[in-house]
Structure 1
Amino acid sequence: MGTPVGQHCARRMWALSSCGVCCLGIAAFTCGVVMQVGAWTYNYSEKDYEWDEARAYCKTFFTDLVAIQNKEEIEYLNRTLPYHNKYYWIGIRKQKGTWTWVGTNKTLTKEATNWAAREPNNRGSNQDCVEIYIKRPSEAGKWNDEPCTKKKKALCYKASCQPLLCGLHGDCVEVIQSYKCECHPGFEGDNCENAVQCPILEPRGASMNCSHPFGDFRYNSTCTFRCPEGFERRGADELQCLDDRQWSAETPTCIAVTCPVLSAPEHGELNCSHLHGNFTFNSTCDFSCQPGFELTGPQSRECTAVGNWTGEIPRCKAISCPVLSAPEHGELNCSHLHGSFTFNSTCDFSCQPGFELVGSQSRECTATGNWTGDTSRCKAVTCPVLSAPEHGELNCSHLHGNFTFNSTCDFSCQPGFELTGPQSRECTAMGNWTGDTTQCKAISCSVLRAPEHGELNCSHLHGNFTFGSTCNLSCQPGFELLGPQSRECMPTRAWTGETSRCKAVTCPVLSAPKHGELNCSHLHGNFTFNSTCDFSCQPGFELTGPQSRECTAVGTWSKDTPRCKAVTCPVLSAPEHGELNCSHLHENFTFGSTCDFSCQPGFELLGSQSRECTATRTWTRESPQCKAISCSLLSAPEHGELSCFHLYENFTFGSVCDFSCQPGFELIGPQSRECTATGTWTGNTSQCQAVSCPVLDVPSHGHLSCSNLHGNFTFNSTCTFSCKEGFIRVGAEMLRCAATGNWTRHPPVCEEDSAFLKQVLVYTSTSALAAAGLVLSGTLIVLLVKQLSNRGTKTPAANGRFVARDSQPRWLQGPKDSGLIKRV
């Protein structure tokens, strides 16, 4: 991942027109380029990345891959960005087959597309990510879809919209060289500060109670309404001021309570009186019936205050006749105009099959409550009389009379004969006997047939399939015989042995693979010859092995056993500085696997905490990252320097900062501080304090004047010496406190000038002295000083240096705590 501009540009940076260009010249880092445009910045990496890496770069150091707003923005990017032969990634990617702006997760609309000619080409080569042609010789600024694994520059943007910039009721939207506030529904104004106004409500006949969160009768104001007793509200009980400046419904009104409209009962009449309107409170209605009907229920009903009528609903009921029932072995079918077995009801009679009607076929209920016609009954139908067959016997049972409906007659034969024809005959409802005429015939066995997929070969002594007939059975190739190979017709009308059949060769029973399904078709029986079984897998699994198997003639299955293997998702790895803990239901990183992410101490998780492998071979949610925990920014102490080493990002966990002071200053506090996993720095704040020199004393018979920049007698303090009248200064006029904590020279002393005068009187006369006073120069003073200094006796010190004896003048001695001064 490249290092962002903001991390390193503070060290070395210069400007190119409207672009800020940072270049460190360090191979371990990747430089970025920033262009400031109005309300936000565009950024691009010097290094080339795959699309996912490019987005991670943008989200780590800026906001996201650039989201193209309009053609003006495209023209600006094409004009400003440098040409790169691999071009630049932008924030569009195909998700579930749909081109989507990844920053907002919104679908790319047809109107917003800017594809190059013949793009996107959808060649089925995973061209799911989008690049923008910057300064391309043709179609500059257009888009092209590319495989996401190709490497291009990351084109990022960093948003400048701040929280609450558009208040609590608006969203800040970036536009070229500015931003705008898009107000939430119901709000308006430059900063979305005003709620829209709805018309003031003035209900008639209803009491109103309102709440106004954003002002009287403005957006989201709600008003509830109540009506007095005896009246009911028409309209909504609550109105809300909507974002279109209209109320959610019409203003309600109060009207008198209404009961359901009453109508005259069928075959009756209704007579009502109304006090407050038709069918309203206190209305009274009287009921009566037409001739031939009688009233059931209350004769009068009243509308109550709750909108209900007193009493039950009355009705006019038709006069009833005695209830009729169906005759024995017959049926009754009635039609009732006004109720069961009432006036004008009509009943038709019929008999069950095998019976015939005696009496009236239809009867009607009259106005007097009586039925027309006579009582009806059903009589059994008669069949012809039967007799026993030759060489046989007859045995009959009669339910309704000799040889009538439902009479049954059984036939039997003498020994040595068998019955041909029905063994039993029954008298039907049509007056006929079931079956044909019965005869007694020589004993026969049932006709044998070759078994399915087999063959039959018979010999007959007394007729086809009669006593003594012998049949041999065999099977076609691929089938095996179950039962005797030969059968004989016995006097008992049965064949020897059990029925033989040819059974298809059986294969081992197949079962569905784990997590799969089995669908078989069987021609000759379950899992037998020519059975075919198709295999499929449940969602999230894929079939390995043959999709279909067939049972062969030798009783084995074709091909190998298939199985269902869980589909595989891409292998996940722990984020840098994080850990990955996965549970796998089936196999590693397959369908149903879940992985939890966590970060090492000193890092915090950005993104989802858990991901799951789906049936579509993809993981839920995006990959998380572990970002180093940040400490507060450190700055160099006054008169000092700060040198930091950052393991991860500027001033984050693991960053170590060393403090040092400029010459003449010494460090107070820790020399090094480290950013801990808790986001705090070790140690206290460090400071640089000026180095102190030894305190200077005012010379005897002299004056001392000092200038202190950083404190008395500290680094860069300067002190000037002067002597009182009658004394001369021997030594430097000015001393400065050096960075080493020492004065640049030894302090001077003030000596009486009598020695100089005496020396002049010895060698010159008074006139010569006067002349010498006129020409006295700095050279004579130097000679005098030298003569006076030679008066001392030189004694070698223990360490080889020459030191002055007590006879040496005081002004060549150093301060009391400075020791002996080396003679020049």
Structure 2
Amino acid sequence: MAVRAHASLPGTQGTAAGQRFAGRTGALGSRGICYLGIAAITWGMVTQVEAWTYSYSDQGIYSWEQARNYCRTFFTDLVAIQNKEEIGYLNATLPFHKQYYWIGIRKQNSVWTWVGTNKALTKEAENWAKGEPNNRRSNQDCVEIYIKRQQEAGKWNDEPCNKRKTALCYKASCQASTCRPHGECVEVIKSYRCECHPGFEGDECGTAVQCPTLNPKGARMTCSHPFGDFRYNSTCDFVCPEGFERRGAGTLQCLASRQWSAETPTCAAVTCPELAAPRSGQVNCSHPHGASAFSSTCDFSCQEGFEVTGPERLWCTAGGAWSGVPPHCKAITCPVLRAPEHGEMNCSHLHENFSFSSTCAFSCQQGFELIGPESRECTAMGTWSEEPPQCKAISCPVLRAPEHGEMNCSHLHENFSFSSTCAFSCQQGFELIGPESSECTAMGTWSGDTPQCKALTCPVLRAPEHGEMNCSHLHGSFSFSSTCAFSCQPGFELIGPESRECTAMRTWSGDTPQCKAITCSVLRAPEHGEMNCSHLHESFSFSSTCAFSCQRGFELIGPESSECTAMGTWSGDTPQCKAITCPMLRAPEHGKMNCSHLYGSFTFTSTCAFSCQPGFELKGSQSRVCMAVRTWTGDTPRCRAISCPVLEPPSRGRLNCSHPHGNFTYNSTCTFSCEDGFVQMGAGLLRCQATGNWTSHSPVCKEDAAPFLKQILVYTSSSALVVAGVVLSGTLLALLAKRLSDREEKKKLLNPTSDLGSPGVFTNAAYDSNL
């Protein structure tokens, strides 16, 4: 077996990996030729850089276990994929192999696990192809990656572990000391990065994160800084001076979040119970360290009319207690009072009896009134306010006889005093309004209201509905000789007498008048519309209103409503309903449009149908209808060129295409040509038809037999050709076929994977050198 030498970049010759590779190729079996790929993968070359590198076995195909042993022998392990960027890089760089590639993930105890790190596959990192993993026949415990697959390239598929595939390996760039001791080294494409432990940062995770500098107020702080001042894991203890207590945590630690484990504590002075001012007194305090805190002092005083009993000053001690018992305020006293003659006294005492702020209210017996103050109050000087009051009999106001009437009075005491009574009567033609008699009460008022003599009245009249009434009254409202005139509001006419008079019989002359609404002509709804009327009075009369609206798809031309006026006419012209319009449509490019209009061009219910020219297909709505909202149904259609299957250049050939309407669509044309030494078999030009098919099948490039025939003719003389003409016409052709068959067999022996469609690049070169 021929093994091609492996080139290496400067600085890589003679490496241990290269020597191991060269020394072990014989152990790989009949397909042990390997090509290494890294960063930017190149076939048949090993490029070594300070980064994670990729490698793969180009011709060797193995079971999953064999592939892993291969990777662990020459590199680090089967590849462990970390992100979608890495997947895209591998798919873009690796060559296509029909059997695809093994990767370093396997089902262990029913859990998909990265074998290199022994970590379970997370849900977020899954990259399965559609419908995978399916565990067909319950033995698919290993994973392959689709490289350059027509569908779902870069996706994963579970497979039986005994299948033979290409090994996809990686070589790690992380060293044991990289990122240590405060981080973990993580491989990335073309490099590595450090994932720092919580609390550390920097390219090599050598710097602890910084917390804000602490500056406590009133507290003593003692700190330890294992990784630098106020950095990660720094701890600070806080102590308060005597007489003060700590508010907050006693110890703070700098966390990985760059914040302290708690707020900075403070020292607050020890507090005493809050003091209240004594009843009827005040307290005035000073607080150098906070309200009712250590060293606070409080001075006590009493309101006017009170005196202090107890200490006048207290202070808060260091033990959290006041220096003494709070004092209280005692009210000053006045002489005892007595009720006046023929009267009563009612006293209230806020403090002690007849002391400061005590009040006494005075009242008299029925029939007497108070002369003097109604109450007296004990002052701060120990004396009563005001002079003593007296009780005197009360009197009522002098009465007079009512107009058009007479009065007769009797007096038990003084004239118009308590218990005096007066009787009242009226002249003929008037009636008494009020009580027939009145009595002077103990309140100094007469019982009942003052009576009056009032003229006889008729029933109260009311203006007719929708009308007005104007009355004149000689002796009072709606009384004898009162007259009332009637009129109607605009829009109404009077039915009945224009005036009425109140007679001596308490009745009105004439009948009751009425106001009737003026009528307008009857209205009708417009065509394609509706009419909704409201009638305050009779149908189609004054103040009747009619609202007009149109059916769906029509708009109102004219007033929306009309009202019947006081003149018996309607306020506006009769409206009409007109079909609404939609924006004008156009036929799509490469297409046609056919429209029908019921109420006018592009109006409500107008319908337009769309179609495309041959070679194009309609995308969007086939027809659109103008709706009542002034928009068309469906989406705007377009004509898109019909697509033909994508063409690929033939093996050992070239493809050149032109696309007037898009790649491999209607009227695209493609021409084919073959490399030197090959002959084109089939049509040289294909065109995409309107049916979505090409005019012919793609041609193929076959090896040209002419050079071999020329070689035979060199060793054959012209005379021999004459003699052996018949032989060349039969036997020579058979010999030619035999030689071509032998060459194909030799190619298969040297390249056993060629039938699978995935030969290595150097396989053809090896074949050519052995012919």
Q: Is the shorter-chain TM-score for this pair beyond 0.5, marking a shared fold?
A: no
**Higher-helix-fraction structure:** 2
| TM-score of the superposed pair, with normalisation by structure 1 | 0.32
Structure with more contact order per residue of length (Cα contacts < 8 Å, sep ≥ 6) = 2
